Amino acid sequence: MPGLDPVARLPEHLLANARLLRRLATLVEEHSEELAQIESHNVGKPISGARGEVGMVAQVLHYYAGAVDKHFGETIPVGGGVDMTFREPLGIVGLITPWNFPINIASWKIGPALACGNTVVIKPAELTPLSTMRLGELALEAGIPEGVLNVVVGKGLVVGQRLIEHQHVAKIGFTGSTEVGQLVMQGASKTIKRVTLELGGKSANVIFADADLEKAAAAAPYAVFDNAGQDCCARSRILVERSAYDRFAELLIEATRNLKVGDPEDDATEMGPLISAQHRATVASFVESEPIFRGDAPDGKGFWYPATIVEARPDDRVAREEVFGPVVALIPFEDEADAIRIANDSEYGLSGSIWTLDGARAFRVARAIESGVLSINSNSSVRPSTPFGGFKRSGFGRELGMHALEGYSEIKNVFYSTD
Ligand code: NDP
CB 180, CB 156: distance < 8 Å: yes
Best residue among 97, 162, 177 to mutate for probing ligand 1, ranked by most atoms within 8 Å of CB: 177
- Cα angle at 95 between 183 and 380, to 5 degrees? 95
Neighbouring C-beta atoms of residue 358, cutoff 10 Å:
13
Q: 5-14, 126-135, 168-177, 350-359: which range is least confident on average?
A: 5-14
Decide if pLDDT at 8 tops 80.
no
Decide if pLDDT at 381 tops 80.
yes
Decide if pLDDT at 395 tops 70.
yes
Percent of the chain scoring above 90 in pLDDT:
95
Of all protein residues, the one whose alpha carbon is nearest to atom 15 of ligand 1 is 156
| Stretch 368-386: mean pLDDT | 97
Q: What pLDDT digit, counting tens, does each position of 218-236 carry?
A: 999 999 999 999 999 999 9
Active site residue 198: yes
CB 227, CB 236: distance < 8 Å: no
- Is the beta carbon of 101 within 6 A of some atom in ligand 1? no
DSSP letters of 188-236?
Answer: HHTTT-EEEEE-----EEEE-TTS-HHHHHHHHHHHHHGGGG--TT---
| Stretch 133-141: mean pLDDT | 98
pLDDT of residue 13: 87
**Catalytic site residue from 232, 233, 241, 270:** 232
Of all protein residues, the one whose alpha carbon is nearest to atom 20 of ligand 1 is 160
Where helices occur in 70-127 by DSSP H, the ranges are 102-115
pLDDT of residue 215: 98
Of all protein residues, the one whose alpha carbon is nearest to atom 40 of ligand 1 is 232
Q: What pLDDT digit, counting tens, does each position of 156-185 carry?
A: 999 999 999 999 999 999 999 999 999 999
- Is the beta carbon of 157 within 6 A of some atom in ligand 1? yes
CA distances (Å), origin 253, targets 203, 268, 297? 20, 20, 16
Confidence of residue 4 (pLDDT cuts 50, 70, 90): confident
Of all protein residues, the one whose alpha carbon is nearest to atom 38 of ligand 1 is 176
Q: What pLDDT digit, counting tens, does each position of 289-305 carry?
A: 999 999 999 988 999 99
| Stretch 93-104: mean pLDDT | 98
Instruction: Give how far the C-alpha of residue 365 lies from the chain's centroid of Cα atoms, to the nearest Å.
Output: 23
- Is the beta carbon of 95 within 6 A of some atom in ligand 1? no
Of all protein residues, the one whose alpha carbon is nearest to atom 42 of ligand 1 is 176
CA of residue 185 to ligand 1 center, whole Å: 14
pTM listed for this prediction: 0.96
Q: What pLDDT digit, counting tens, does each position of 109-119 carry?
A: 999 999 999 99
**Catalytic site residue from 39, 53, 198, 322:** 198
Nearest to 373 by CA among 403, 345, 413, 342: 403
Best residue among 42, 95, 96 to mutate for probing ligand 1, ranked by most atoms within 8 Å of CB: 96
CA of residue 266 to ligand 1 center, whole Å: 28
pLDDT of residue 7: 76
pLDDT of residue 1: 57
Euclidean distance between CA atoms 364 and 353, whole angstroms: 13
- Is the beta carbon of 178 within 6 A of some atom in ligand 1? no
CA distances (Å), origin 267, targets 82, 99, 140, 226? 60, 22, 31, 15
Q: What pLDDT digit, counting tens, does each position of 317-352 carry?
A: 999 999 999 999 999 999 999 999 999 999 999 999
Coil, helix or strand at residue 83: strand
- Is the beta carbon of 321 within 6 A of some atom in ligand 1? no
Mean pLDDT, the chain, integer: 96
Q: What pLDDT digit, counting tens, does each position of 40-87 carry?
A: 999 999 999 999 999 999 999 999 999 999 999 999 999 999 999 999
Decide if pLDDT at 2 tops 70.
no
